[in-house]
Chain A
Amino acid sequence: MTSREKILSAIEGINLPSKELPITPIFEGLSEDKHAFFFEMLNTLGVEVIVSDNDDQLKDIIKEKQQDGKVYSSIPDLGADDLTVNKDEMANLNLSVIEGQLGVAENGAIWVNGEDLKHRSLTAIASHLLIVLPYHKIVWNMHEAYTYIKPQDHGYGVFISGPSKTADIEQSLVKGAHGAKSLIVYIQK
């Protein structure tokens, strides 16, 4: 008997009484204004929020960050650098600009599709991260989020909520553990 068979037959042998699967409601929001709540949540997470109806400021940020290293962007025509998929080159990126598909107001998380990126590690490897998110793509909570996000359609996808952080040394919060040291969320109106 293989281990697979052993495990499955052991479970079979227990013959557990079936328990019903509950219905999960979507639940209401905590605020009338989910945008304001989302921005407030991002502030709490130490995220810089920029709301704009054009690309100008975004291009400026890229230019500024290029002074300290290369900038990758998954969005074309912003003046970012060309990137070869090379570990060392990616590790030296100063900024990674990526597209967010959906923002979640209750926790400040933003969904990113791995396929949109030249390499999956671009969600974490650059010193700084900038996520561009359309203004209308914000939902209230995680239940609502999963009605839009189909993670199975993506080999890799991730909810990112703020810059990477750790509190493993005496519970002192430090931003920039292994992933981005800072996060800018650029909301496009």
Chain B
Amino acid sequence: MSTQYKTHQEGAKEFNKNPDRVTWHDKALWFVREKRDISAHSIPEWEELREIASQVKAHSLSHLNKYLEQFEENAKANGVHVHWAKDAAEHNQIVHSILEKHKVKNVVKSKSMLTEECGLNPFLNDRGIEVVDTDLGERIVQLANEHPSHIVLPAIHKKKEEVGELFHEHLNTEKGASDPTYLTRAARTHLREKFLNADAAITGVNFAVAETGGFVVCTNEGNVDMGANLAPVHIACMGIEKLIPKVEHLGVFLRLLARSATGQAITTYSSHFHRPAEGKELHIVLVDNGRTEQLGREDFRKSLNCIRCGACMNTCPIYRRSGGHSYTYTIPGPIGAILSPGKDLKKHSSLPFASTLCGSCSDVCPVKIDIHTQLYKWRQLVMKETNYEKSKQVGMKFAGKAMGSPSLFNLMGKVGNIFLKGPRAFIYNGLNAWGIDRELPVPTETFDDWFKKNEKKNDK
């Protein structure tokens, strides 16, 4: 597996040791952000759509019980098996028991961040089941024994030469070949074999419709339509927050999803499943794994609106310059930084600080999650409830006291100025994070002193 950093700072520092790679990574993702902009700006009702989507999600979450029960009832009536998992472990067990019942050895999986979140692959591998990720990007990271660094573009951190190397090793492509078309064709051939021999297919779910008991999965590659339609068993795993009330709401979300994600007007395949094909089985696993807890947190509830488009990653200036692997959670970037503290505040305490609170994430979000506001709120909780940067907390207490006292604050300013006028080596050293690559401002006469001197003149 790829290195797991303890804090985002640590990962970001490492990533920035190679400035050319930062440039490349930043440009690749900015390109996607620009495509998103063009696409969004071609829809005059874009902001209205975002508002409707946000309200539909808020409504669905406020009636989640009703919709879950309605969905289950309709899905069962459609001949679908419905399972409930309270956490990752139960999810994995449910999936495994279905596979075991059918004596499944080979599974093809299409992109599902939920199964990634639950650690399904290693769980099944340990039990002798081969799981092949069929999304090209996911297959690349799987072969490289890494995690996705982005939820829509899992291998965005990899250069084509690195993919060429990997495919040469695993798929016998020509050594040194790095042409994307050539490599994609090789993967197509390799994965066709897997699709044709799979005993079961696992997919994620983008949207589940309560009134019909069906669900929609969106892909560009067609891996869902290959996998789920060829294998005798189809297991769809979904977080309980994926529910929307009616079919008409699919119109809203399908218009927003791909435009936000990649700038496409819609994904190539928007596949709707309601009933298994004759002689086959269709299962749905409804997973909680911390979602009801998040639902109970008023300040952070809205994070469950997320439709996993990845737009907040593409726009985030910190994500683009630190890479997905610098984050300590499966879902990186701004959305990951507000979802993860709810799972483990201590482990992910650095993530809410991996931001300048610039707010771009909230403005690109198609379901209007107030991401940067939630980052701010998680910061307050991290400092209150964990030992994260304890020394900073002491400093802040002292500074806060000083700011309550104009005379003390004035004195500190004067001392500070004297310090800044001191010898260079005294100011620019390892203790001064600002000064590593930046000059400090040069103090002159303060405005306060100037004003007092010229008060009479100013009061004229």
What residues of chain A lie closer than 8 Å to B154, measured between beta carbons? 168
What residues of chain A lie closer than 8 Å to B64, measured between beta carbons? 11, 16
Binds B, one of A59-67, A75-83, A159-167: A159-167
The verdict on B76 contacting chain A, using a C-beta distance below 8 Å, is no
What residues of chain A lie closer than 8 Å to B56, measured between beta carbons? 21-22, 24
In Å, the complex CA distance between A166 and B331 comes to 21
Whether B212 contacts A152 by the Cβ 8 Å rule is yes
Whether B65 contacts A11 by the Cβ 8 Å rule is yes
Whether A11 contacts B295 by the Cβ 8 Å rule is yes
Of the listed residues A87, A154, A163, A171, the one surrounded by the most CB atoms of chain B closer than 10 A to its CB is A171
Size of the chain A interface, CB-CB below 8 angstroms: 72
In Å, the complex CA distance between A141 and B359 comes to 31
Contacts known (A107-B265, A168-B140, A168-B155); A156 close to B220, Cβ less than 8 A: no
Q: Which residue of A lies closest to B267 (CB)?
A: A161
List CB contacts (< 8 Å) of B317-367 with chain A.
Answer: none
In Å, the complex CA distance between A6 and B224 comes to 31
A170 in complex: contacting residue of B28, B51, B267, CB < 8 Å:
B28
CB distance from A77 to the nearest CB of B (A): 26
In Å, the complex CA distance between A11 and B240 comes to 11
What residues of chain B lie closer than 8 Å to A54, measured between beta carbons? none
In Å, the complex CA distance between A152 and B246 comes to 11
Whether B183 contacts A124 by the Cβ 8 Å rule is no
Whether A165 contacts B268 by the Cβ 8 Å rule is yes
A14 in complex: contacting residue of B140, B195, B213, B296, CB < 8 Å:
B296
Whether B59 contacts A21 by the Cβ 8 Å rule is yes
In Å, the complex CA distance between A165 and B223 comes to 10
Whether B180 contacts A179 by the Cβ 8 Å rule is no
B249 in complex: contacting residue of A11, A24, A25, CB < 8 Å:
A24
Q: What per-residue 1/0 map shows which CB atoms of B227-263 lie under 8 Å from chain A?
A: 0011000000000100001011111101100000010
Closest 6 CB pairs of A and B: A179-B222, A107-B265, A177-B221, A155-B275, A168-B137, A152-B212
Task: Return 13 A-B CB contacts under 8 Å, by A number.
Answer: A87-B196, A109-B266, A124-B222, A124-B269, A143-B248, A152-B274, A155-B277, A161-B266, A161-B270, A166-B221, A168-B137, A174-B184, A179-B225
